[in-house]
Amino acid sequence: MTELLQKVRVIDPVSEIDELFDVLIADGYIREVASHISDISSDTQIRDCQGLVLGPGLVDLYSHSGEPGFEERETLSSFLQAAAAGGFTRVSILPDTSPVIDNPALVAQLQQKRAEGQRGSTSATLSDRGAEKSLSPLLPSSPAPLLHLWGAITVDVAGKQMTELADLASAGVVGFSDGKPLENLALVRRVLEYLQPLGKPVAFWPSDRQLTANGVMREGTDALRFGLPPIPASAETTAIAAMLELVATIGTPVHIMRVSTARSVELIASAKAAGLPITASTTWMHLLLDTKAVKSYHTSLHLDPPLGNPRDVAALRAGVRAGAIDAIAIDHTPYSYEEKVQAFAEAPAGAIGLELALPLLWQYLVETEEFTALELWRALSTNPAECLGQKVSAILPHQPAELTLFDPQQTWKVERKSLYTLSQNTPWLGQQLKGHVLQTWC
C-alpha cells in the first residue's frame, strides 16, 4: 500500500529535524520526503496530517510481561497490542517471568511465540477495538512491535549463581539483566569480566536493599506527613557509586536502570565526564510525579524505586535534557486488580505505562516548553535503541518505515475498554488524557 501523509510535522532526532513535510510511504519504505509531493500513483491513499506528529518508532528499554506464568496480568499478545497502541515499534521484556528467562530453551520458546504473534493477529485485534478507542476510521491498525528478550544474569534472578551467559547470547537475547538489585559485588565483578567478549548490553538496577529495608516512599517531609516508611536516597546512590567503581576497574559497558535521585544524576554525569562506558535511564513516571502525589495513597503510585522529591524530579528532567540520563524507560509493570487492592505499603510496586507515557510526557513536558519535541522523542526512540546497541533510521527516502504517527490534541479516557493491556494499575484510570497514537509502521 502507498500512503501520502500531507503536511505532517516530522520530528527526526537522527537528522535533528522538526519541520512540516509531505511523506510518501510504500511497501514498508519511505519513498519521498519533501515540502510538497504531487507525483503519486492513482491508488495512493492521501491523508491530511495537519496538526499530527510523525517520528521514529518509540523504543522501550525494559518492561514486564505477565507471560509466561502470570497471564492474568498480561499476555505477550496483550503486551504487544498495548505497546503498538502506545507508539512503540520495539520493546524489551525483563526476564522475571515464571519460569525465568534464564535458559536458551525458554528463549527459543518465546521467540517462536513472538514470531507467531507478529505473523498473526495484532493488526486485526487493534482494528476490531478501534471503535472503542475512538481512533480515526481513516487510519489502519498498527503491526506488532519487534519484541526483544532480556536474558537473566543469575539463575532464577536469585542473585546467587550466574546463568550460562554465552549460551543465552547465542540464543539471541538482546542483553542481560535481572531487573532486580544484584548486591553481591563479587558476583557483579565476575559478570562484567565474563560479559566483555560477548558484546551484549548489560543493565543493572543499583539499590542497596539493606538501606531500603521496608521502605515504600522516598525519605523526606512528605514521607513523614503521610506516615509511610521511608527509603533514603543513599539506598540508590551508594549502590551506583559501587557500580561505577567496578566499571572503572573492569571497563565493561553498563546500563544503569531506574535512576531516581538528584545525587544519582550527579554521579552518573561525573562518571560520563571521566569517560566511563555507561548509559542510564529513568522511568517516565519519575519524570512526571513526585512525592506529593502519594498523598492519595493510590497503590499505583507505589513504585520501586519510589517517586522522588521535587528536587529529584527537577534533576532527572535536567539530566535527560543534558544527556546524563540517556533514555526514558516505560518499565510497564502490570498487576491484577486483586493484587493492587490493599494498603499502600502492602501492594506490589509498579504501574502500567505503555499506552500512557507518550501522551502524558508530551502534555506535561513538551506543551509546557520544558522539553523540545526533539528532546523528548530522542529519549524515547534513538537513545534507548543506542543503549541496546541498535540504530534507528532517519526519516529520509529509501529508509525503512519504522514510524509513529501521533495526534497531540486528540482526547481519550483511560478506562478498561480503551486499554489493550489486561491490567489497569495506573493513577490515571478514569481520567481524560490529551494525545493519542494513531498508527505505527514497522
Cα–Cα nearest to 61, from 424, 415, 386: 386
How many CA atoms within 13 Å lie on the side-chain side of 191?
Answer: 33
Q: Is residue 77 within 8 Å of residue 420, measured between CB atoms?
A: no
Q: Is residue 202 within 8 Å of residue 254, measured between CB atoms?
A: yes
* End-to-end Cα, the chain, rounded Å: 14
The grid coordinates of residue 287 equal 519524570
Specify whether the backbone of 430 is left (phi greater than 0), alpha (psi in -120 to 50) or beta: left
Counting Cβ atoms within 10 Å, is residue 76 exposed (0-12), middle (13-18) or buried (19+)?
buried
Q: Which positions are catalytic?
A: 331
Long-range contact pairs involving 102-105 (C-beta distance under 8 Å, separation at least 24): 102/151, 102/152, 102/154, 102/155, 102/156, 102/157, 102/163, 102/168, 103/163, 103/164, 103/167, 103/168, 104/164, 104/167, 104/168, 104/170, 104/171
Q: Torsion angle, CA of 240/244/250/254, rounded to 10 degrees?
A: 70
Q: Is 382 helix (H, G, I), strand (E, B) or coil?
A: helix
DSSP string, 273-322: HTT--EEEEEEHHHHH--GGGGGG--GGG--SSPPPPHHHHHHHHHHHHH
CA pseudo-torsion sign 173, 179, 184, 189: positive
How many CA atoms within 13 Å lie on the side-chain side of 287?
Answer: 32
The grid coordinates of residue 9 equal 510535522
Q: Is residue 155 within 8 Å of residue 161, measured between CB atoms?
A: yes
The CB density around residue 169, as the number of other CB atoms within 10 Å, is 19
